[in-house]
Structure 1
Amino acid sequence: MKQKQESVKAWFASGTPWVWMNAGAVSIAVIMTIGLLAVIAVRGLGHFWPANVLEATYSVPGSPVQTLIGEEVQVEQVPRERLHSAGMPVPATGPEFMTRGLLKLGNRDLYGSDFSWVVGEWLGERHWPKELMTLERREWGNFYGYLLSVKEAGKVVAEGSAAMPELQQRLQRVNALYDELSGLEKSDIGGINHELERLRLKERKLQLDGQLDATAQADLATARAELQARYQEYEAKLGELRQQFNRDSVVMRDSSGRETEISVGKLVHAYQPNAMGVGAKLKFYFQKLWEFLSEDPREANTEGGIFPAIFGTVMMTLVMALIVTPFGVIAAVYLREYARQGPLTRTIRIAVNNLAGVPAIVYGVFGLGFFVYVLGGSIDRLFFAEALPAPTFGTPGLFWASLTLAILAVPVVIVATEEGLSRIPRSIREGSLALGATKAETLWKIVLPMASPAMMTGLILAVARAAGEVAPLMLVGVVKLAPSLPVDGNYPYVHLDQKIMHLGFHIYDVGFQSPNVEAARPLVYATALLLVLVIALLNVSAIAIRNRLREKYKALEN
């Protein structure tokens, strides 16, 4: 027994139990992370699968029998008392649990809500007719029903079995017209409006400077007349396209037997999910997934895509990285290489370390107060006086959001860079100086390249923290819906003063501010997964650069 106790003590003294405990903790953390990502992926990516459409009778006690058409979203077992307390006419006696299902009935313009909870025991015979159709609309969500006919300018051109192929052809035509209309409105007409606004500001500036003479007025009038002439041409073309866009329509019959005429121009997709095979559903699934990544949002961000949020997140993070890296490196180089090591330097280091623990919302308040109102307002008064009282940089925007995140992340870069500089052997510095190099040349050509992996480590940590922040961005430039991207074909091409969308804020908005909670839930999961992937991609890119730099300068370290 004594020998056994001694062996146990020796085992504990060797540290093996703590190694196994740490390994177990890490394993549990990895499993939980992977499990969480798997749940998010299943619930988010499953939203894009073309679900079959159910048709069933629904008999509520004391009410007439009705027919329901829709997608079965969720089925669960709930206590009978819970249904009774919810106001459903459930008998007081019976089984303890009853089935409750969530159906996506669509047709929100007709019924007011496109999701409804139903009691499974009250559903009659269920079947999935192949003729049932799902219409995905640009507004009012999905429409479920039977296709009766296709019309052109009010006249029936196809009905019965011939209606579906005819609808698909006309829907392709309408989608092509929609792309042309969008390009005309955003690029051509938007560009002219941008040029007209620049002329107005130029005229105002000349007026403020006292240089608005007759010659300048004539030049401005000529340029404005040319733009107005082009604008009239585009407006005429836009009217013709809109007339063609709204030419076709379809007649649908809903679950109550009511016939509804819907313009084809309001449709995005029209398909019969019950008649689709696995291959057709897979093709449609990846098409929907691509639309989610590449298109603009619609329907209060609960439909369509999230490309502006992806673009805004990536661009803001890259601008932040361009700002935080030089400032963080310069500060670290000064503290490590030039500053006299004493109480003041130690105090500065303590302050830098404490900055990393400041709540993010505090940085947002600072960014709004100093960057936006003080610095941005001063820039407007000095360089954009002709636009006042409308602010240019004196309002939240991309640049101020990136600068606020840079201030938030700069302590991480400073600490990581200082650690990298401290690990470079002193002999390397002395050898460089002995060969005749100055201190600046040694720092620039020897020390900083060897410390670059540590700088990249700091940048990786900064990106990981800043890219997922939401609270400060709500104050300094991120909005629910940005009408245009901060990069376009209008001078100066990159608009750092514009407001942007962000994946983190998009998750908050869709998850907590959406009027249609059930429609928003799967998009919250999908957007959260995408945010994780975007941050991981940015980090992996930085890690790859760091590893290459580490291999490049490993020989010098040895």
Structure 2
Amino acid sequence: MSNELKLKNQTVSQWVKSGDPWVWLNAGAVAICVIMVIGLLALIAVRGLGHFWPADINQGTYSLPGSTPYTLVAERVESAEVPAAQLREAGIPVEAHHDLMVRSLMKTGNRDVYGSDFRWIIDEYFTDITKPEMLFAAERHEWGNLYGYLKAVKEDGQVVAQTEDLTPTDSALATWAAFERSIERATTIYDDIHEVEKGEIGAINHKLERLRLEQRRLELNDELTPEKLADIDAQRAEQDALYQALQQRLIDLYAEINRDTFIVQVMDGSEHELQVAKIVRAYRPNAMGIAEKMGFYGSKVVEFLTAEPREANTEGGVFPAIFGTVMMVLLMTVLVTPFGVVAAVYLREYASQGFVTRTIRIAVNNLAGVPSIVYGVFGLGFFIYFLGSGIDQAFFPEALPSPTFGTGGLMWASITLALLTVPVVIVATEEGLSRIPRNVREGSLALGATKAETLWRVVLPMASPAIMTGVILAVARAAGEVAPLMLVGVVKLAPSLPLDGNYPFIHLDQKFMHLGFHIYDVGFQSPNVEAARPLVYATALLLVIVIALLNLAAVTIRNHLREKYKSLEM
């Protein structure tokens, strides 16, 4: 037995010395990390993407013990088991013989009628549940969702379709068809109004503001002659005439869009007359098949990606935030890459490798660990208050006291994040330069190339994969940063994109929206937490996808460069 035990111990010792246990340990750790990441993404996807599915609307009787029964019409949002004792401590009169009870969050909508659009119920006391086909849900520009039965449709105060049926009879379906046509008409007019207000009138306001600033600049420089003033007045009069014409067109459009109304019966039996113009879309989920629900789901996802937010960012889309995030990251990349590469080239190729250079490298490595909010404070104090104010005094005195660059904007946010990520690019580029064999440099110099030509034509192309690695790391960190952006340019809701058709087309001084800040705002600053919660998950998933796509593009470029210059490394 002792010999067998010694043999087993020797076998185990040899196995440990071979390194196999560490290989398996590392493999297990990687597997656990991958499973955790996939699980986290799956949780975010289920919680976020499920928000866009058209859930059935339940109608039933809700009656707590000792309370008056009432009709409840709502969507079921989530359910959970809770101890009955906890419910009784909260003052909910549940029966004593229960230990656990199912508690559900129901979305009742109609916030303008009931004051809130969510309520908790105890499932056991929600009885006689049905899903009537004529129950409809309507998304509105304000006040959230509307649930109820359609009773009538009016045009100019005259009833054009009505029904008393709560079942899908011919009259009820005809009334619903008239309602859909009215919504389609109102949506078309709403798009025209948006185009006039944001597009045409926006362009006129931009031109008028430029004329005002031009006149102010001439006054400050004592160059405002009667001829120049007359020319400015003539241009202003032309724009005013166009503005008055567009104002009249808006008045006509608003008169058209406010023509139609509809009458809806809500769950307490009361009837309300509302404007069709307030409706974004209306649908009857209980009457929809799987194919119809999938089509509706696709349209909602597209709206989320392409539309502007509404209802305090709890409804609508996040396109301005997507645009702002991508544009800021691209500007940051354009700024950080050349500065980081130049600094790394100097430290590795030109600087004397002494105490000062070592100190600079230590400082760069330490900068990579500085909290991002510190960079935000620095950006606010140096870029905005000092540099931006100086730019306003020197180049935009006519706009003062309103700041142009002396306030947060896209440019300062991009520069701040470039400063935050430049240590990463420097370190990665230096590592790439250090891996290039010395004989490659010597061979280039031996063939008659200068040091600058060797650097530009040989060394940097071979180090380009390492440079792209630094860019990938910089993008991954910068795209998800929120704290510094809160100080240097990001806002809850930007009235317009920083890129439009007005000169100079790219407005680097404008504030912008960002997906990371949008998540923070919706999750922690929203007045309607329950309505905002699904959008937090959906926006978080979208931010992960945007960062992954940006990194994937950089990885593709890096792999292409690596294959291109692989022969030079051999």
CA offset at residue 288 of structure 1?
0.4
Partners of 2:440 and 2:122 in 1: how far apart? 77
The corresponding residue for 2:293 is 281
CA offset at residue 534 of structure 1?
0.1
CA offset at residue 493 of structure 1?
0.4
- Among residues 183, 193, 199, which one is paired with 2:205 in the alignment? 193
Counterpart residue type for residue 199 of structure 2: S
In the alignment, does 2:128 pair up with 1:125?
yes
Partners of 2:85 and 2:316 in 1: how far apart? 39
- Among residues 302, 321, 335, which one is paired with 1:290 in the alignment? 302
- Among residues 343, 346, 350, which one is paired with 1:338 in the alignment? 350
- Among residues 71, 83, 90, which one is paired with 2:87 in the alignment? 83
RMSD: 0.7
Partners of 2:191 and 2:448 in 1: how far apart? 65
CA offset at residue 38 of structure 1?
0.4
TM-score (norm 1): 0.99
In the alignment, does 2:374 pair up with 1:354?
no
CA offset at residue 63 of structure 1?
2.5
Residue-by-residue CA offset, 1:320-365 (whole Å, 9 max, x unaligned): 0000000000000000000000000000000000000000100000
Counterpart residue type for residue 188 of structure 2: A
- Among residues 23, 31, 35, which one is paired with 1:31 in the alignment? 35
**SS in structure 1 opposite 2:161?**
strand
Partners of 1:98 and 1:534 in 2: how far apart? 41
The corresponding residue for 2:15 is 11
**SS in structure 1 opposite 2:406?**
coil
Give 1:479-518 correspondences, 5 Å limit: 479-518=491-530
In the alignment, does 2:450 pair up with 1:438?
yes
Partners of 1:154 and 1:289 in 2: how far apart? 36
The corresponding residue for 2:261 is 249
Partners of 2:259 and 2:66 in 1: how far apart? 45
Counterpart residue type for residue 34 of structure 1: I
- Among residues 95, 99, 103, which one is paired with 1:96 in the alignment? 99
**SS in structure 2 opposite 1:158?**
strand
The corresponding residue for 1:176 is 188
**SS in structure 1 opposite 2:194?**
helix
The corresponding residue for 1:219 is 231
8 Å CA contact retained: 2:62, 2:71: yes
Partners of 1:206 and 1:6 in 2: how far apart? 93
Partners of 2:372 and 2:264 in 1: how far apart? 52
Partners of 1:414 and 1:67 in 2: how far apart? 66
Counterpart residue type for residue 32 of structure 2: I
The corresponding residue for 2:167 is none
The corresponding residue for 1:203 is 215
Partners of 2:188 and 2:459 in 1: how far apart? 57
Counterpart residue type for residue 182 of structure 2: R
The corresponding residue for 1:425 is 437
- Among residues 115, 118, 125, which one is paired with 1:115 in the alignment? 118
Give 1:300-339 correspondences, 5 Å limit: 300-339=312-351
What is the number of residues matched between the two proteins?
A: 557
**Unaligned stretches of 5+ in structure 1?**
none
Residue-by-residue CA offset, 1:273-301 (whole Å, 9 max, x unaligned): 00000000000000000000000101110
CA offset at residue 94 of structure 1?
1.5
Residue-by-residue CA offset, 1:518-551 (whole Å, 9 max, x unaligned): 1111000000000000000000000000000010
**Unaligned stretches of 5+ in structure 2?**
164-171
8 Å CA contact retained: 2:368, 2:423: yes
CA offset at residue 61 of structure 1?
2.5
CA offset at residue 400 of structure 1?
0.4
Residue-by-residue CA offset, 1:291-318 (whole Å, 9 max, x unaligned): 0000010111000000000000000000
CA offset at residue 427 of structure 1?
1.1
The corresponding residue for 2:177 is 165
Counterpart residue type for residue 76 of structure 1: A
The corresponding residue for 1:146 is 149
CA offset at residue 32 of structure 1?
0.5
Partners of 1:4 and 1:292 in 2: how far apart? 63
Residue-by-residue CA offset, 1:198-234 (whole Å, 9 max, x unaligned): 0000000000000011111101100000000000111
Partners of 2:206 and 2:154 in 1: how far apart? 39
CA offset at residue 60 of structure 1?
2.3
**SS in structure 2 opposite 1:94?**
coil
The corresponding residue for 2:552 is 540
